[in-house]
Every structure is written in structure tokens, then in C-alpha cells.
Copies of this chain bind each other. A is one copy, B any other.
């Protein structure tokens, strides 16, 4: 999936590698959410100097995975319900707009390619039925391609560069194998149909509903867990 990102450059410097390693560990929860980051400790763990580690920390901060306070240090971000819902709001606004733009900016062959990918997902879904994991990957893949299709570098940068891994982190740590798999698949089809029709207004509305439905689904689920 990461390999699909054309903007992503291969990790050339050591700080790049430490960054990617830590990014993975934070997303997967191996480095616990909310935990304090000890620069000396981690520098020893990864066998690099503190300068190099700090360079990596700066990039983690750029994609909102850690937070720094002057003269105090860094902490991994907490995974709160509020934070999760806030991100869905941002995604609803930005991906909705991206979808509107994609309806006019995407080339015919890009749309065709995405249609065939979606068809593949449909078959896989039938095979695996309830198992939502693959669908999750597929969901990310679909959203990712629509964003790229917007052809707006600022949008792409924010969604694919700065928010993407934070979204993945929440998915991992809240264990989201949603029961919305088949419905989400249908919604994807409808969105893509609107894009193929070059109907930006409808495409935006459908994408916003799609993301809002996910958000409400989570709100509902978390409400039930409380009871």
C-alpha cells in the first residue's frame, strides 16, 4: 500500500529509517500511545546518536504521531474518542472536496483502473465474506486513489502525508474491523460512478456521507460499549 504513494521517497538517510521504524511501531502500538519518549533511551535502542533520533522525532511530529513541549520532551499522541471523531470531521471535509475535484481531474484510464480494482475487491470480499481485514486495506486504497485523483498537491500532502498514518494508528489501536464492509463497498461503487459521470457535486456529497456514516457507526459502537 505504501508503495502506491508516488510522492514517498525511499528512505535514504539513517534518520529516514529510524523515522519509518518508529512510525510503524507507533501505529501498531508497539510503542504505546500516550507514553513519554526518552531520547537517550531510544537513541541507544536504535544505535544512533541523539541528533539523528531527534531528526526522526521531528518528522513524527510532522505527521501528528508525537507531540513536543519545549524543555520537557515528546509524548506519543493519545488515542481518544474525541480525537478519532475530530479526524473523521477533517476527513469528511477534505476527502469530500478531493472527491469533487477528482470528478473533473481524473483521467478516463485512471477511473477505469479504479473500477477494475473495485471489482477485484468485490470478488475478494465474497471469498472472505465477513473477514473485514482485506476490505480495510481496500478501503484505504480506494480513498487513497481518489485523493491522488484530485490533483491538488496541498490536499494530497495533508491527507496522504500528514494525516494518513494517524488514521492508520486509530484503525489499529481501536481494532476497527467494522461490520460496514459490504455497505462501504457499495458506497465506494456509487462514489466512483459519480466520478465517472463527472458529477463533482454529487461525488462530494456521497463521499461526505460515506465518511460521516463511518463516523456515526463508530459513535454508535462506542456508545454501546459504555453500557
Q: Which residues 47-79 in A have Cβ within 8 Å of B in the complex?
A: 51, 55, 58, 61-62, 64, 70-71
Residue A89 at the B interface, CB < 8 A?
Answer: yes
* Proximity bits, A109-139, B CB within 8 Å = 1, else 0: 0000000000000000000000000000000
User: Shortest distance in angstroms between A60's beta carbon and chain B's nearest beta carbon?
Assistant: 11
Report the separation of the CA atoms of residues A13 and B96 in the bound assembly, to the nearest whole angstrom: 40
- From A27-35, A150-158, A190-198, A215-223, give the one contacting chain B: A150-158
Decide: B71 and A12 in contact? CB cutoff 8 A.
yes
Query: What residues of B have a CB within 8 angstroms of the CB of A13 in the complex?
Result: 70-71
Q: Is A186 an interface residue (CB 8 A)?
A: no
Say yes or no: is A16 at the interface (Cβ < 8 Å to chain B). Answer: yes
Interface of A is mostly: helix
Q: Considering only CB atoms and an 8 Å cut-off, how many residues of chain A contact the other chain?
A: 30
Q: How far is the CB of A187 from chain B (nearest CB, A)?
A: 20
Q: In the complex, which residues of chain B have a beta carbon less than 8 angstroms from the beta carbon of A25?
A: none
Closest 8 CB pairs of A and B: A93-B97, A86-B154, A58-B58, A93-B93, A12-B70, A90-B154, A86-B152, A13-B70
User: Can you give 26 A-B contacts (C-beta < 8 A)?
Assistant: A12-B71, A13-B71, A16-B70, A51-B51, A55-B58, A62-B62, A64-B157, A83-B154, A86-B152, A87-B154, A89-B97, A89-B152, A89-B154, A90-B94, A90-B97, A90-B152, A90-B154, A90-B155, A90-B158, A93-B93, A93-B94, A93-B96, A93-B97, A94-B94, A158-B158, A162-B162
